């Protein structure tokens, strides 16, 4: 088995991630201020933030990967930094636990499993839509 080489640390990539995160977190905060959740109700703000993030990430990565576009700073900035800060698994987990502990089991389970199912579905939709839109068209 060949020895694994340590990846070279690149401060500029870390800065790209930090700047993306610095923009993604306030974007998520604005959605949380705009979409009001009823107490012990379905956490719509986090749900929609994560769903939009899953779709956008799928579109972005499908475009980058399938076009073999170099993305030394673009991918870390947008996929890791911006969307990493924009979406939030930790809030999904916390809100689910609070709903379950607060005897709102049906809402908690619907939120958890609905978020995962819809997130996967929109990610697949984003990939397929991107492939369809960017597919080469035969000349007529």
Q: pLDDT digits over 48-93, tens only?
A: 999 999 999 999 999 988 877 777 899 999 999 999 999 999 999 9
Measure the CA–CA gap between 15 and 56, rounded to whole angstroms: 22
Secondary structure element (H or E) that encloses residue 11, with its range: helix 11-34
pLDDT of residue 3: 56
Using CA atoms in the order 118, 120, 126, 129, what is the torsion angle rounded to 10 degrees? -90
| pTM, full prediction | 0.85
Measure the CA–CA gap between 91 and 87, rounded to whole angstroms: 9
């Amino acid at each position: 088995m060949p020895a694994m080489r340590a990846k070279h640390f690149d401060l500029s990539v870390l800065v790209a991630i930090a700047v993306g995160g610095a923009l993604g977190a306030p974007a998520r905060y604005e959605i949380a201020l705009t979409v009001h959740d009823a107490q012990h109700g379905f956490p719509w703000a986090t749900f929609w933030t994560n769903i939009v993030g899953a779709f956008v990430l799928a579109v972005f990565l499908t475009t980058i990967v399938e076009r073999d576009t170099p993305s030394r700073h673009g991918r870390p900035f947008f996929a890791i930094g911006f969307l990493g800060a924009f979406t939030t698994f930790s809030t999904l987990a916390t809100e689910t636990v609070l709903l379950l502990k607060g005897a709102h089991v049906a809402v908690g389970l619907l939120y958890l499993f609905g978020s995962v199912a819809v997130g996967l579905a929109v990610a697949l939709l984003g990939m397929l839509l991107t492939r369809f839109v960017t597919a080469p068209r035969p000349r007529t």
